[in-house]
Structure 1
């Protein structure tokens, strides 16, 4: 069996190209890789984006303008592992603008896509016998605060 790749395929009503352009503007080394447009046969308006391929941090994604039949929801999210608080702050603000914020670093952007903007070191902080204190701290957060997570881990060790 030969499998080339597994790629998240995101369904939008009419916003696929706008969403993909927005996402690639926020991440270094991100790019639009291709845009296929509807022709005379439709079902979308001729010349409008049908499928937009893009990459974020080496991860291929595809956005489809498929119409109003299906909507993105929280059952699927993109996890962004950040090593610096500045990246968490920037992405949290940009992606959440016009969307909604939730607990533990989750947000929904203005296009309906759910994101987890989190600390890349979280698995290390929550592993071991002191992980409960870190989890309790994270459960009380909306936007992730790396220093507060580290402080929770340190406080649990004293």
Structure 2
């Protein structure tokens, strides 16, 4: 487990592992550091789905879980988003391009105040991100 005192915890309905693999593919240095699946007969989950998974990305960790199909996870909302401070324009462009693939661009990329590029993107899983480059 992480030393991080607060860790985002994302609940999916059957596609948590797909989301984790997507983030590994599109976010710099992201990697799955833990993945535990529901086993046959285990309560509260569907066999083979993610009981809990940890994704390390950009120095932070996030937990993932699949809710059972009989009790699906609520839909994500853009009211909660993940701010990503990109170190370069190339990193911003890669993050924006990856997250927007199959998702919805809500804003940007554009310059706002001291930021050279800002965007607001809801990815194909319904999770909202705000990549920013100063």
TM-score above 0.5, yes or no: yes
TM-score (norm 2): 0.78
Match of 1:137 in 2: none
Aligned: 1:112 with 2:126: yes
Greater Rg over alpha carbons, structure: 1
TM-score, scaled relative to structure 1: 0.67
User: Aligned to 2:7, what secondary structure does the other structure show?
Assistant: coil
- Contact 2:52-2:65 within 8 A present in 1 as well: yes
Q: Which runs of 4+ in 1 moved over 3 A?
A: none
Structure-to-structure mapping, 1:81-120, within 5 angstroms: 81-104=85-108, 105-119=119-133
Alpha carbons of 1:4 and 1:47: their partners in 2 closer, same or farther (altered >3 Å)? same
Structure 2: 5+ residue runs without aligned partners? 109-118
Kept in 2: contact 1:12–1:72 (CA 8 A)? no
- Report the structure, 1 or 2, having the larger strand content: 2
- Report what 1:133 is aligned to: none
1:55 and 1:69 map into 2 onto residues whose CA distance is: 22
Summarize deviations over 1:87-146 as a string: whole Å, max 9, x none.
Answer: 222211111111100125100000111000111x2xxxxxxxxxxxxxxxxxxxxxxxxx
Aligned counterparts of 2:29 and 2:4: Cα–Cα separation in 1:
22
SS at match of 2:24: helix
Hey, which of these two has a bigger chunk of helix by percent? Answer: 1
Q: CA RMSD in A?
A: 1.8
- Cα deviation for residue 4 of structure 1 reads 5.9
Per-residue CA deviations over 1:70-100 (Å, capped at 9, x if unaligned) read: 1211121111111322222221111111110
| Counterpart contact for 2:28–2:95, Cα < 8 Å | no
